[in-house]
Amino acid sequence: MSIGNYGRFLLGISLVLANLSAQALPTQGSEPPNFTAKDINGTEVNLYRLLDTQPDFAILHFFTSSTGEEIALRLQALDQLYGKKRLGIIAVGVKEDETALKKFAADLRVNYYILPDQPEVSSAYGPIQRLPLTFIISKNPAGKWMVERLLVGGGEREANIISEVADAYFVQKKLDDAHALADAALKAGEDPKAVGAVKGYAFVEQGKLDEAQNEFNQIQSKEGLASVALEKGELDKAVELASQAGPDSGYANTIKGTALMRSGKLDEAAQEFGAAATKDARGWQKSEAVAGKGRIEQEKGQVDTAIATYEQAIALDPYNVVALSNEGAAHRQKGDLQKAADVLDQAQKVSGDDTLVAIMLKQVQEEMKKANDTKRSELIRQQIADLHKRYEEQKAAGKPTDDWTSRPLVVAFLPSENATPAFFERAGTDVALRHEIEGRLQEDGNVQVVEREVLDKLLQELNLGSSELADSNTQLRLGKVLSAQLLGFIDFAKTGADAELYLRMVDTETTSIANQLRRPLKADSDLDALVTDVVNDLLGKMVTKRVLQGLIADAASDSAVLINLGKAHGAKVGQQFAVLQDGEPIIVGGREIGRKQTKVATLEVTEVEDQLATCKVTQKNDGAKLAKEMKIKVIGAK
């Protein structure tokens, strides 16, 4: 063959392949081709215009009149329930003339669109090799129309068309609609097992586990019962029931994998997720398995691989909130805040009320705003240099001279001391909770929280690792440098299927534990309520039980005595302070342990600035004379 002929041969082959590719059936997740055609009544039907008027789904069904009666009746039932307002139904009679189709529609009293076989349609959705052929088309979370699912042939699943639409509503978390259509499917004579599965999993999603268990018992679904046990936290039972579901149940492998993952058996879980991917299951079920695989990859440090895996899970089910939030957390972990925000925004549109997604999205958006603030970045750089210098100076100088004055109520949260952190199925849960607790405390106004960005950069600048941070002397110096009265540590521990939040506050004066609390953290915990409870508990212990004391800074005038306590310390207009005079030393065992103190005057705060306050003398003992550096203590403190 000559070079010219060979080139023409290759060109011909490429054109044939391109033609075959162009004629391939649209696949799940792809955009449906548009067409315009007239139905048997002469009405022009444009697929995209129809889609724009249907908020939920469109059904495109290819059939023959000799074999399509049963599904046609079920489509008619769907049309009567949701047609024209929420569902658009188009049926195309393949190789059928218009007369036969009109008779078919009249006999069955069909009201939805029926189209004769036309090149505009068959070329876009061909070649059609098996009938019936049904496309369920929906709008994905990004607002684009896609093929939600594809049903080919006359098998059991294809015949249960109403159940399939009910399951599609379930995937979109429109659970009331899923239940309503499942009931309609049962009334239309569809398979009770298919109906029971939709209702059962919808009940699981709603948290109605007793109702779900009843549905799965009726259809004898071991994998369904395993999913109920999983949601109840009965992990061993979930594995046992899933093992009884049979070797062909892909979702049983997914349930086993999830139970093992929640138990911390990540390698075994990964094997189950891998097995699930090779077996038949619905798209949302496969998506759960793939997302589980990605979560284990991320936990093992394979963040880029995990992101690619999450994307596969989302392609299988664009409404998989866990996969979306995990991908967002992975991008955040890499420092790609824009991608994290984009994915979390998509997750929020899908979930609506997922607290973890809302918390992470808010935090990422705040981090992006701070990262783009160049003036703030320069101020932080200067602040870090000053703090580093102060740290080294205090390290060399030892204990400061003023050990009486209350420090500003400043809290610095140091990195976790836990060498084996708890595993969370939802990636980023620990980071989101830590940051949210810090943010809520700062918002209260009674407490100053050292910015995490400042703290992280300071620790990096000082080259302090976890072992140094655990040292009490280091903690003491850090507290002094940051002007922090308390250092906070937030850790998580695994307790079976659940976790526990453990928070400690360390006093930087004594390095003793000032406050501590524990809170259970279950899979269905209301994270917003949990954070509120923790913050209120901390504020109650830190603010209301605090002893505020300081020194007189200037006593030139009884109407304008200055003290070294201000807003940062918690001083407020109207507060009263006792002025104390040191007396005789208190000697025990030959060692001075303190001095007797006598109240000589009372001050009332009249003005407050950030680091100092102005007071007036409201009472003074005869002969008492106020002077700089005399001790003061808020009245009412114990």
Cβ neighbours of 622 (radius 10 Å): 5
Strands 133-139 and 145-152: antiparallel
Q: What is the pLDDT of residues 437-455, one digit of tens each?
A: 999 998 887 788 888 888 7
9: pLDDT confidence band, cut at 50, 70 and 90? very low
The tokens for 541 are: 């212990």
Rounded CA-CA distance 511/635 in Å is 26
Intra-chain end-to-end CA distance of the chain, in Å: 104
Asked if the model's pLDDT at residue 150 lies above 60, the reply is yes
Task: Count CA within 13 A, CB hemisphere, residue 275.
Answer: 20
Higher pLDDT, 542 or 359: 359
Query: Residue 437 domain-assigned?
Result: yes
What 3-state class would DSSP assign to 442?
A: helix
Same domain membership, residue 566 and residue 445? no
Same domain membership, residue 521 and residue 553? no
What's the Cα-to-Cα distance from 61 to each of 75, 91, 536, rounded to whole Å? 9, 5, 58
Query: Residue 590 domain-assigned?
Result: yes
Same domain membership, residue 449 and residue 430? yes
Q: Which amino acid is at 334?
A: K
Rounded CA-CA distance 556/552 in Å is 11
Rounded CA-CA distance 374/601 in Å is 49
Q: What is the pLDDT of residues 248-292, one digit of tens each?
A: 899 999 999 999 999 989 999 999 999 998 898 899 999 999 999
Query: Residue 263 domain-assigned?
Result: no
What is the reported pLDDT for 19? 40
Residue % of the chain over a pLDDT of 90: 57
Q: Which amino acid is at 582?
A: D
Same domain membership, residue 536 and residue 469? yes
For the chain, counts of helices (H) and of strands (E): 25, 18
Higher pLDDT, 544 or 290: 290
Query: Residue 112 domain-assigned?
Result: no
Residue 628 host element (H or E):
none
Same domain membership, residue 561 and residue 511? no
Q: Which of 526, 542, 558 is the last residue of a domain?
A: 542
Q: What is the pLDDT of residues 546-590, one digit of tens each?
A: 788 999 999 999 999 999 999 878 888 999 999 999 888 887 777
Query: Residue 521 domain-assigned?
Result: yes
Task: Using alpha carbons, select from 181, 195, 193 the residue that is nearest to residue 222.
Answer: 193
Q: How many domains does the chain have?
A: 2
Query: Residue 91 domain-assigned?
Result: no
For residue 419, give the CATH number of its domain.
3.40.50.10610
Q: What is the pLDDT of residues 396-442, one digit of tens each?
A: 665 555 778 887 788 888 887 666 678 999 999 999 999 999 999 98
Rounded CA-CA distance 493/496 in Å is 10
Same domain membership, residue 555 and residue 466? no
For residue 573, give the CATH number of its domain.
2.40.10.410
Rounded CA-CA distance 332/149 in Å is 32
Task: Using alpha carbons, select from 558, 576, 559, 573 the residue that is nearest to residue 613.
Answer: 573
388: pLDDT confidence band, cut at 50, 70 and 90? low
Same domain membership, residue 615 and residue 476? no
Query: Residue 58 domain-assigned?
Result: no
Rounded CA-CA distance 379/364 in Å is 21
Q: What is the mean pLDDT of the chain?
A: 87
Same domain membership, residue 464 and residue 403? yes
Q: What length is written for the chain? A: 638
Same domain membership, residue 527 and residue 384? yes
Q: Which of 542, 564, 587 is the last residue of a domain?
A: 542
Q: What is the pTM of this model?
A: 0.82
Domain containing residue 577: 549-634
Task: Using alpha carbons, select from 445, 599, 430, 557 the residue that is nearest to residue 501.
Answer: 430
Residue with tokens 């997604």, as numbered in its chain: 357
Same domain membership, residue 597 and residue 524? no
Same domain membership, residue 568 and residue 536? no
Query: Residue 619 domain-assigned?
Result: yes
Same domain membership, residue 500 and residue 394? yes
Q: Which of 491, 514, 542 is the last residue of a domain?
A: 542
Q: What is the pLDDT of residues 28-63, one digit of tens each?
A: 889 999 999 999 999 999 999 988 887 789 999 999
